[in-house]
Amino acid sequence: MPRTEAPVGAQQWVPPHARSIEELKSAAAGCEGCELHADATQTVFGRGAPHAKVVFVGEQPGDVEDQKGLPFVGPAGRLLREAVDDAGLDPADLYITNAVKHFRFELRGTRRIHQSPGPAHITACRPWVVAEFALLEPQIVVILGATAGKALMGPSFRVTQQRGHLMPWPASAHHPADFPVAEAQALATIHPSAVLRADNRDVAYQGLVDDLKVVAGAVR
């Protein structure tokens, strides 16, 4: 497929009556809804409990995730797992995914440097996230970072202003109405990669754990 600045979107690859996450994952492996599929190693779909009470949504897979085909298995993923444990969340209640399913990067020599996905990539990949939510029906959606926040809540959403407390779904008038999670709540926090970049990593990590403790206390 030729690259284009106007992605066709993922909808034509999404099974219309999918019965499982595995069915979605299998279909997503062939997705060419935007140009990112051409350079990425593979689609990196979500994983976790099929009836998860809590769904984490990040930005996009990183270099390690792109190579292994699993979300949050690199340094940021390891830190997130530690934070989940320290917050008292049960991994059996969790599902984790990304707003964009392919790794966007810039090649510098032999290194692949992370590039944030643009609005067109988020829009193109949106049908996959909608399909995931339709099967999962989570109680709480944890928004990891700014890109995920804008993907789920609209362009005016700011993690720095709205992090750390539970919000009804939808959280703002800008929220698109097609996510089938009307009775869920949302909580925004920083992406674990932001902890890794922080000047004071201990303080940043404790802030992430404190946010996740709010989620743990709310899970029924």
pLDDT tens string 161-174: 889 999 987 644 44
The whole-number pLDDT of residue 182 equals: 60
* 193 φ/ψ angles, rounded to the nearest 5 degrees: -65, -30
The string of DSSP codes covering 133-160 is: HHHH--SEEEEESHHHHHHHH-TT--HH
Residue 69 DSSP one-character state: T
Nearest partner of 160 among 132, 122, 186, 191, judged by Cα: 191
Q: What is the signed CA dihedral for 205, 170, 46, 95, rounded to 10 degrees?
A: 60
Rounded to whole angstroms, the Cα distance separating 59 from 129 reads: 12
The mean of the pLDDT values for the chain is 91
Question: Is 116 in contact with 59 (CB distance < 8 Å)?
Answer: yes
The whole-number pLDDT of residue 161 equals: 86
Residue segments in the chain with a per-residue pLDDT below the cut of 70: 1-5, 170-182, 220
The whole-number pLDDT of residue 178 equals: 62
